[in-house]
Structures are given as structure tokens and as C-alpha cells.
Amino acid sequence: MTSIFFADDSTLLSKDLPSAVEQMTIVEEFCAVSGARLNQAKCQTLVLNGHLDPADTDGGGLLNIVPTGQPVKYLGLMFGHQLPADHQLNLVHERFMASFQQWGCRARTLQGRRLLANTVMLSLLWHVTAALPVPPAMVQSWQSMLNRYILGRKIIPTDRYRPLLAASLQFDSKLGLGLPHVASRIRAQRLQILQRAMSLATPNRPLWQPLVLRQFERSMGRLHRASCPFDFLLYHPHYKSKWLKLWELHPLWMDVWRQWSATPMARRIQLPLTPATTMQLPVWLTTYEPTMSNGKCAARIVNSPPTRRWCSHGAYNRLRCLADIVAVHGRWPTRPEFMVMMCQGNPAAPVERGNDGRMQWAPVYRSGMIYTHLTCVYARVQELSQLPPLPSPAAPTARHPFYGLAKDVPTPFELWPRRMVLALAYHAPATETHHPMSSTARATAAALHNYVRRVRQTCRLPPPVHGDVWLRLLFRMLPVNCRFAYLQVERPDVICCAYGCGGVETQHHAFHACPQIHPVWTFHRDAWRCYGVTFSWSTISDLDLFTVNARGHHHQDALKTLWILLIASTLHLIWTEHNKVQYEAATPLPPPAWNELSFLGWKMSVRRWLRLQDPDCPLRSSVLEVLRTLRVQAPYRPLWTKYPYTLLLAPTSETDQRH
């Protein structure tokens, strides 16, 4: 390969300086004949060999040699001669942290900030993380900044935030908020590139695939099998391993191997293996539990360099799996037979003079333990073969045992669909914790999942800022004063109500039970009494408890829609006024102002909802009929008379309003 073309950019690859000059001469001849013109001032030549000095390279006037340490951007990545390894990561880290200050103010809700983080902030990372290994500390700093921004609206990296929701619920997309987990996304990138490396040798395979497989072959040394090139996937790349030559691997592929080995084995091998397949698995380096004994592989028993060399050369005698050992004699060998098999052609095998004066194999330190270990593994595999077959399909015999069911078909890992790869890569915190929406009626995960889905649908109905307060209230994420009990040593009254009533400010107190707040719910309850709708705290905190009387049964959907809009707008009003009193020393609103503002906020939400519906929508007609009934109720009649145009859907001139 001598060239790479992308859009209107052309990249020439040369093995040495004369070849580069010759390529540029050919380009000059082409331009002279075709009428095109080469902008030599924009052309740059990068010396890829880090041992050469660009200052000593003479391009003959045709090559613009990039000096040492100066980066060149290509396809969004920085390249350069002897460029620091962390140069690109530091650049993207600075851009990522600065993006929160640039874009952070554009979202006011949890869902809005999550959307902004996924589409704007995180999009700065994925192109770079797909090609460069990222240190875990940097990944953690990115995740911490994301959490502080989405949950706490923090845009400065040094801002502190105390999360009010368990970590497992922060990332859970079904039962929680579904925050993006950066480490899982990066692991998914590593697994997807591993899929490409494991793809079959077809004309469409990546050009770099043979080079990568050669690196893994060298890293495995004498344990590599040409028939099973992916044996390394059953082991983890421990940096202290004396069996592996990890220096042969590029840092990116080292990270790919490390990320793969961090996934649970049960999720890698999803289908039961046949006894024949298990017999073909490697036994010297493995983390597959059926081919281990007492939680150890055969290599873990060896603790001295001479024995390690003896085992390594012995395995090179085509003794890398149980099937290889059995194939020599057609059965499991005895210990003397095993010793002979391991020592044949083994340059590390010690010899000694026997009592009869002849040369013989000398005992090898811990060789008996190795034989006993392999015998136990073989016996265990034989016991597993006697068990009745499982009802699920078994993985077919192939290059590797990593199979899963994709649309009820056994599929090798390299052909897994994207959703299965993402599920394998996901490793966000998943500790068991009490869900804030759980109840006796929702004791199972499925019931809780259905309820959380209904909560999300409900909170999408009102304006986003209104629904956001209700959603955070149901997840118990609002920072009411009782959440600051750890500050009582310095401020004993820190947990008391912001309005000075003396009660402990829980969510129930702040949004319903406080003497300053409760009258507004009484005001709306009296107006909705004709339909049997209540505004109790249990109904607000549990959407399944909403009920109506016989009169409202025919308009139940319309009543619930209006009730949701009223609850959301009133909760938002209560929370904003609470924060003004708590942090801005504002004067609390008088009771008439509470009633009037909550009424106007509700009418605004209703007007917005009506504008979003089709004119012939049956639910819209039912809502209008309910509104005509509510407007004549005693609590609402004065306010409806005072603000008669709050439900006008089209702008009206002043002349029309006077009439």
C-alpha cells in the first residue's frame, strides 16, 4: 500500500526518502499534463521512524519535513515525530471539559442535559477513544464530570456535588435515569474492533488484520496454535506474566485484550460447550473454570524459571490442550508417559546418569503437581460429559468457544449484532439498592420497570421544566433540607423548613404538609371535588392511586391529563418559590398569590397541551368539556372571570378582546 485517499486529501506512504521524492516527482508530472496544480505549501511530510532526525532529512526542495514534536492532524487524530503519547488525549480532555462551560447552560432538565451530553459533549471523545487507549483515571474524570453536570448542573470541573441517587440507578436505563457510562462505551469500542480482527479471511477483511494476529501470535510464544489463533481470549494479559510476551502488542491491542478479559466468562461463552470442544481448549493459560483445578490454571502451579521453560517447550510438542495429550496414546497417559511426552525434543528437559550408567530424564521440580493438576482437569471434563445434555443448543466446534444466540441461532462472537456487544460491554455499577418508587404493589423488577416507564411517559406530558421537578421528586433527588443532616454539627437548624414553620423539611413537608403550602392543594381539591379527584400526597407520589368518581368515569383520561398538568405546574411553582426563600432571602407568597399563580401556571400548561393536539382529537374534546365544568366551580370562578383569555389558542387583537 503506497497511498491513502480520503475526500480531497491524498496521503502517500514511502519506505524511504528516495521513494518519497520519486512519488512527488510523479505527482508533479501528472499536474503538468492534467492542468491541475499542487499546493506545495500545504503539503507536509512526516517522518514515521522515531529513530530518525527530521532535521537530517533532505527532501530536495520537494518535501516539507515536519520537525520533531510538531503535530499533524490526519482524520481527526494528531500524528507527529516523537510526539508524546498523551498529547492527543490531553487535547481532547481539555476540549471535553471546556464544552460544559460552552454548552451547559442550554439545558434546564435532566433529560435535556442527558441529551446534550450524548450528542455534543461525548461526541468529542468517541473518535479519539476508538484509536487510543485511555487511562482509567482519565475515564473516571470524564464520568465524574458527566454525573455532576447531568445530575447537578455543574459546569466547572472543580465544582463539588453530592449525588442524591444511588449509582446503580443513575446508569440503569430501565429502572433509573440512564446516564451514559463512559467506560462501557469505550469497552464496546474495543469489543467491536476485536470483532473485526476475528472476522474470517474474506476479501472484505481489514488490511491490518494479519498484522494484528501476528502480534498476538508472538505474544503467546510457544503456546500459540495455528488451528486455534484465539486461545489468548481465554486468558487475561497480566503484566507480570512470565509466559506472555506482552511487549509484542501495540498499546491499543493490549487495551483491547484487557477490556475483553474484564468481561464475565459466562457472558462471553453463552452456549454450553460440548465435551469435544472442552477437550480442545487450552489448559496452560486459561480462565475458563471447567479447564481449571481449584481455581488455578496449569501455569499457576509453576513458580520457577527452569520448570516454566520445561513446560513451555513441552507444550510446544503439540501438548497444548487435553485432546493433544490424549491423542498420543489414545488414552490419558500415566505419569512416566507424560514425562516422556513433555521431554521429547525439549531443550529445557534436564538429564542425568542412571544407576545403570545410562542417560535418563532427570526429575523436574513440581512436574508431579503439574501432572496431578492436568489429571484432575481431565477427570472433571469427563464427569461433565456424563451429565445429560442441556435443553439449550450447544456451541458448534469452531475456532473459538465464544458463541451466543442471535435470533435463536448460535452465532460466533465476530458476528454478534451490536446490541449483544453493548450488553457484553456494559459494566456500570449494579449493586442491589432500594428503589425510591418500589411498593408492595410493585415488588418485582418487571412491575417496577413498567411503573417507571409510565412515570417517564407522564412527565413528558407537561412542559419539560415542570415534568423535571416531578420526576426528580419521584426519584427522591430533590435537595430538601433533611438531606443535609450531616451539617447539623455546625448548623443544628439546617434540616428545618425554609419557611420557618419548625418542621423537618422532607419532600412530603416541603411539597404538601407545610402550612405555607398545604392551602394551595386544598384550594384545588375543593374545585375538583365534583369529579372525586384528590390531591393527597400519596396520590402525588404514586401515580397508580389516581381515581375518579362515577361522574368522572366517562372523562377519566381527560381528567388524568388535566390533573397531571396541574400537579406538575404546582410542584414546579412550589420548588421555585422554596429556592427563592431558601437561597435568595425572598418574602414568602401570601395564600391568594399561591392560588392565583398555581391556577395561571396550570392554564398555561393546558393551553400548550391543547395547541399540540389535533382539532378532531376525542381526548381534546373531552378535556374542553371537563374545563367547562371546572370553570363554574366556586374556587375557580373568580379567577376564570379575572383571566378569561388564558385558554385562547390564537393571538387576538385588543379590539376583539374588548368585545
Q: Where are the domains of the chain?
A: 3-79, 87-181, 188-415, 449-658
- Give the pLDDT mean for 598-611: 96
How far is the C-alpha of 190 from the C-alpha of 259, rounded, in Å?
7
Question: What are the helix (H) ranges across 104-135?
Answer: 110-116, 123-129
C-alpha cell at 560: 388524568
How far is the C-alpha of 463 from the C-alpha of 417, rounded, in Å?
37
Q: Which of 22-36, 52-66, 511-525 has the lowest mean pLDDT?
A: 52-66
- Residues above pLDDT 70, as percent of the chain: 95
pLDDT at 420 over 90: yes
C-alpha cell at 527: 374545585
pLDDT at residue 2 in the model = 65
Q: Are 134 and 186 in contact (CB under 8 A)?
A: yes
The whole-chain average pLDDT of the chain stands at 91
Q: Are 94 and 139 in contact (CB under 8 A)?
A: no
Question: How far is CA 253 from its chain centroid?
Answer: 20
What amino acid occupies position 152? Answer: G
pLDDT at 214 over 90: yes
Q: pLDDT confidence of 73, banded at 50, 70, 90?
A: confident
Please list the residues that pair with 496 across neighbouring strands.
504
pLDDT at 634 over 80: yes
How far is the C-alpha of 336 from the C-alpha of 348, rounded, in Å?
17
How far is the C-alpha of 214 from the C-alpha of 227, rounded, in Å?
14
DSSP per-residue codes, 147-172? HHHHHH---STT------S-HHHHH-
List C-alpha distances in Å: 88 to 9, 51, 209: 21, 21, 25
Please say whether the dihedral angle defined by the alpha carbons of residues 95, 98, 103 and 109, taken in this order, is positive or negative.
Answer: positive
pLDDT at residue 64 in the model = 79
pLDDT at residue 65 in the model = 82
C-alpha cell at 227: 488451528
The burial of 244, by beta-carbon neighbours within 10 Å (0-12 exposed, 13-18 middle, 19 or more buried), is given as buried
SS3 639: helix
C-alpha cell at 296: 488455578
| Pair type for strands 351-353 and 409-412 | unpaired
- Give the pLDDT mean for 502-517: 96
Write the pLDDT tens digit of every residue in 251-289. 999 999 999 999 999 999 999 998 889 999 999 999 999
Q: Are 361 and 350 in contact (CB under 8 A)?
A: yes
pLDDT at 345 over 70: yes
How far is the C-alpha of 583 from the C-alpha of 167, rounded, in Å?
28
Q: pLDDT confidence of 650, banded at 50, 70, 90?
A: confident
- The vertex-330 CA angle with 328 and 332, nearest 5°, equals 85
The count of other CB atoms within 10 Å of the CB of residue 280 is 21
What amino acid occupies position 262? Answer: A
Whose grid coordinates read 439498592?
433
How far is the C-alpha of 508 from the C-alpha of 485, rounded, in Å?
16
What amino acid occupies position 195? Answer: Q
Instruction: Give 186-214 as a 3 state SS string.
Output: HHHHHHHHHHHHHCCCCCCCCCCHHHHHH
List C-alpha distances in Å: 34 to 3, 27, 635: 20, 10, 85
SS3 74: strand
Whose grid coordinates read 464520568?
143
Q: What is the pTM of this model?
A: 0.89
Instruction: Give 404-460 as a 3 state SS string.
Output: EEECCEEEEHHHCCHHHHHHHHCCCCCCCCCCCCCECCECCHHHHHHHHHHHHHHHC
- Taking only Cα atoms into account, the Rg of the chain, rounded to an integer number of angstroms, comes to 35
pLDDT at 655 over 50: no
Whose grid coordinates read 408492595?
440
Start-to-end C-alpha separation, the chain: 82
pLDDT at 53 over 90: no
The count of other CB atoms within 10 Å of the CB of residue 55 is 10
pLDDT at residue 103 in the model = 92
SS3 58: coil
